A and B are shown apart, each in its own frame.
Chain A
Amino acid sequence: MPAIIELRQISKHYGSVIGIEHVELSVEDGEFLTLLGPSGCGKSTLLRMIGGFEEPTTGQIILSGQDVTDLPPQKRNVNMMFQDYALFPHMTVGQNIAYGLKMRGIGKVEARQKAEGALDLVSMPDKIDQMPHQMSGGQRQRVALARAIVREPKVLLLDEPLSALDANLREQMQIELKHIHDKLGITFIMVTHDQTEALVMSDRVIVMESGLIAQDGTPEDLYERPATPYVANFIGTTNLLPGQITARNEVGTRVEIGGQSLLTHYEKVPAQDSVQVGTRPEKARFLSGEDAEEDNTLLGCVVECIYHGNSLRTTVRLNDEQNFHVDAMLPMGMARAASPKPGDEVRIAVDPDNILMFEIGS
């Protein structure tokens, strides 16, 4: 697939403060790409640069083969859905959507038809003559989306599109946005700080950390094979423990954590012996007396149980005073009562395939 957008060596400096540093990124045509990171990581700045609202200090932005680095927003064939929707309050929904069509020399009748078409696409027919302030947040969000896609841009930019919605509506809109993306077939670039949103909606996710790309990969890549402890902890939760490599052979790598030894099959074995060992809480489980033969285990004492409805998070203090979380799903019939209680001595089993290793300082 051809690249619709290429960012070449993009940097943004505010005086001596570095916002973005040497970002290289290529976006495929039709892709749903998400820029994910905490606030201040530079993800919004990157999006606003693609839209033309901010200029990079150095670097180039290529949009379908053309250098658009110095073009103002009105000359770029991309459209943005703003975080606050930015619907013009003195215009009707129809006028808002048709706003960007007048410049294209599209007549009133045709513009209204297109506006109706866009409203149909976002499941909001019959609202064309309403004023924005008469609508709910969710409805306004749909109007903003309709306004952004009515000009048939090559790329749609979404700046935290769902952040202003309540939880239920947000989940529903995640799926709906994905469907609209499939229907339109154009490139979506979304900015969010919500990892669930990124995992659910995107084809590819760029995790950013203080102006740099921390990892670039599919949602599954990020979750199963996080490149750094930062990514491992930003996407979901990871138990990170300091460890020492004691043996490397064809069976796997053996690491010692606070006097207890674990085997891992993780492929990217760090060169140094001092490492950080990561395990997802839901990929560890408690052993009962009968499973005595299991060998990849950690011993500890339960200190806390937190009930999450469909799952239970148990915090275990290992022999070396480190905390280790274990998540257990609570399927039908499985009572909370069957789980270990605070004070219980427990054994935790972790499969060698589910133990990650990171270099110290990565």
Chain B
Amino acid sequence: MAHSRIARHSSKLVLGIPILWIVLFMLVPYGVLLTYSFWLKKYPLFVPAFQFGNYWTLMTDPQYIKVLLRTLKISALVSIASLLLAYPFAYYLVFRLKNPTVRLVLFMAVIAPLWVSYLLRAYVWKTILGTEGILNSFLMSIRLIDEPSGIFLYNQFAMVLTLTYIFIPFMVMPIYTALEKIPRSFSEASADLGMGPIQTFLKVTLPLSLPGVVAGFTMTFCLSFGDFIAPFLVGGPDGQLVANVMASQFGAALNWPLGSALAVVMLFIVLSIISLSDWFEQTGKVEL
């Protein structure tokens, strides 16, 4: 029976390591975060307590509500812009492009930036949009403007543009996968039964690709929602997002309890969005 004892112990070991990992690096930090969110700040220390003052501040101080709404707006704009760009692109790759090599190259062209440092990709837009940037020198060279313009950088537009560029692969991938799973015979059958290309798209292709759209929307939305580099690099003075405010609570503002409460609220919002999209995916699920 020694053999089975070894097997039993080894299976415990195999499961034990990841469980230990999850407990140590996920559950414990969440617990610490949650605990801190109820504490009091008594400069320069944080005092253990159980009170909802931090949450009350977040819900009543217009400063935080404003940042939260701005973050939701930016995330929504980024997701919508990504969707509008990614869907036609993925559709073109899957249904229109005949050459598989070109398809692969174009698909990789979208995915490849993911291997480049995130910071670098965000920084690139600074050099494109800035006063010394490519956009300005181009516009000056065609004499559309006489002197460099500062309107392109340090505003919400620059932020949406940068975030869309950074997160669009997460929209393209699920939509591409969803479209690719649709058998070619479906659109042929639809045409065979008398439907034109537009009706075929609306009645067959689009409904069957919705799970990909939902997955892509969820990912780009949640990623933008938690972003704090783009606002820092290309967002202007009124471009702070929730993550920046949160980071400052743990830094300059030195108010860990409030920062923790903000983190808990963010976590709650993101988890709600993910469960919503999960639920949507489950109810709308079809077997291809």
Question: What is A's interface to B at a CB cutoff of 8 Å?
Answer: 51-53, 72-74, 79-80, 82-84, 86, 88-90, 99-100, 103-104, 133, 147-148, 151
Contact = CB atoms under 8 A, between A and B. Distances in A.
Given A74-B195, A74-B196, A82 B286 contact: no
A100 B191 CA distance: 9
Given A53-B188, A80-B189, A86-B185, A104 B208 contact: no
A99 B287 CA distance: 19
A143 B205 CA distance: 21
B36 to A, nearest CB: 47
Nearest 4 A-B pairs (CB), nearest first?
Answer: A100-B193, A86-B189, A86-B185, A103-B194
Given A86-B185, A88-B204, A89-B208, A80 B286 contact: no
B287 A73 contact: no
B192 A73 contact: yes
Contacts of A73: 188, 191-192
A86 B195 contact: no
Interface string B152-192: 00000000000000000000000000000001011011111
B144 interface: no
A90 B205 CA distance: 11
A355 to B, nearest CB: 46
A265 B204 CA distance: 61
B193 A147 contact: yes
B288 interface: yes
B207 interface: yes
A100 B196 CA distance: 11
Given A84-B185, A103-B195, A133-B287, 19 more contacts: A51-B192, A53-B192, A73-B188, A73-B192, A80-B189, A80-B192, A82-B189, A83-B185, A86-B189, A88-B189, A89-B208, A90-B207, A90-B286, A99-B190, A99-B193, A99-B203, A100-B192, A103-B194, A148-B192
Given A84-B183, A86-B183, A89-B208, A72 B193 contact: no
Contacts of A151: 193-194
B186 A86 contact: yes
Nearest to A98: B193
A79 B193 contact: yes
5 contacts: A73-B191, A86-B185, A99-B193, A100-B193, A151-B194
B201 to A, nearest CB: 13
Nearest to A75: B194
Interface in B250-272: none
A86 B187 CA distance: 9
Which DSSP category, helix, strand, loop or mixed, fits chain B's interface? helix
Contacts of B286: 89-90, 133
Contact of A82 (B185, B203, B207): B185
B268 to A, nearest CB: 33
A100 B194 contact: yes
Nearest to A87: B189
Given A84-B183, A89-B287, A133-B287, A74 B191 contact: yes
A49 B138 CA distance: 51
Contacts of A88: 186, 189-190, 204, 208
A166 B203 CA distance: 32
Interface in B206-230: 207-208
Given A90-B208, A133-B287, A82 B188 contact: yes
Residue among A53, A72, A79, A90 facing the most chain B CB atoms (10 A cut-off): A90
A72 B191 CA distance: 8
Nearest to B288: A89
Nearest to B210: A90
A80 B192 CA distance: 7
Residue among A73, A84, A104, A151 facing the most chain B CB atoms (10 A cut-off): A73
Nearest to A90: B286
A89 B287 CA distance: 6
Contacts of B191: 52-53, 72-74
Contacts of B199: 103
Nearest to A148: B192
Contacts of A82: 185, 188-189
B202 to A, nearest CB: 12
B188 A86 contact: yes
Nearest to A73: B191
Interface string B277-288: 000000000111
Residue among B189, B190, B199 facing the most chain A CB atoms (10 A cut-off): B189
Contacts of B208: 88-90
A361 B151 CA distance: 80
Nearest to A76: B192
Contacts of B203: 99
A199 B120 CA distance: 68
B196 to A, nearest CB: 6
Contacts of A74: 191-196
Contacts of A84: 183, 185
